[in-house]
Amino acid sequence: MSSDPLGFAPHDHTRCVQSALAEVVRLCAERGVQMTPVRRRTFEILLEEHTAMGAYDVLARLDAEGLGSKPPVAYRALGFLVDQGFAHRIERLNAFIACAHPGADHNPAFMICRTCGTVAEAAAGHGPLGASAALAGFQIEQTVIEAEGLCPLCQTPETAP
């Protein structure tokens, strides 16, 4: 399990963006689904920062670029990205974030900084529920795991944004 909690800690973000984009383009071809302009731009917008964006924030960006102005446009593009595993919905925030490892088989877990809004994705199994679920006879299909707290930078007041 390549646990790579990207997001906190600096990194070459230009590369980070380029590789993610290249990977999803490749996956779309492989899967026979279309990476259309709206979908591509939506993904790029999500990739800009390692923070989650609300659908309406994404929509505002798309609108400014003439790619659509009505809610369904954004929700459809985001839905596509989520369905393909290229983005994730953060339930706690009612928002969306680009996947850190598109294509990789994953059941993601997230760490959300309540101060700076940075969201890091980590690998997770089905969490601590496996045992309880087995005991109760519950068949898990999907698990939401989202931790809220303080990222390394925001723990020290001096370096906090």
The distance in angstroms from the start CA to the end CA of the chain is: 31
Nearest to 90 by CA among 130, 46, 125, 131: 46
CA atoms within 13 A on the CB side of 125: 5
Q: Which does 115 bind (CB under 5 to 8 A by kind): a copy of itself, Zn ion, DNA, none?
A: Zn ion
CB atoms within 10 A of CB 145: 17
- Footprint (CB under 5 A) of Zn ion, residues 86-145: 113, 115-116
| 146 near a copy of itself, judged by CB under 8 A | yes
**C-beta closer to DNA: residue 5 or 41:** 41
- Closest by CA position to 88, among listed 59, 114, 121: 121
Residues from 82 through 111 that contact DNA (CB under 7 A): 94-95
Residue 75 interacts with DNA (CB under 7 A)? Answer: yes
Q: Is 98 exposed, middle or buried (0-12, 13-18, 19+ CB in 10 A)?
A: buried
Closest to 53 (Cα-Cα) out of 2, 105, 89: 89
Q: Which of 62, 97, 98, 151 binds Zn ion (CB under 5 A)?
A: 151
Residues numbered 39-68 forming contacts with a copy of itself, rule: CB under 8 A: none
Question: Is 60 one of the binding residues for DNA (CB under 7 A)?
Answer: no
Interface of this chain with a copy of itself, residues 1 to 20, rule: CB under 8 A: 3, 5, 8-9
Burial of 17 (0-12, 13-18, 19+ CB in 10 A): middle
Residues binding a copy of itself (CB under 8 A)? 3, 5, 8-9, 91-92, 109, 111, 113-114, 120, 122-129, 131-133, 135-152, 155
Residues binding DNA (CB under 7 A)? 33-34, 36-39, 54-57, 67-73, 75-77, 79-80, 94-95
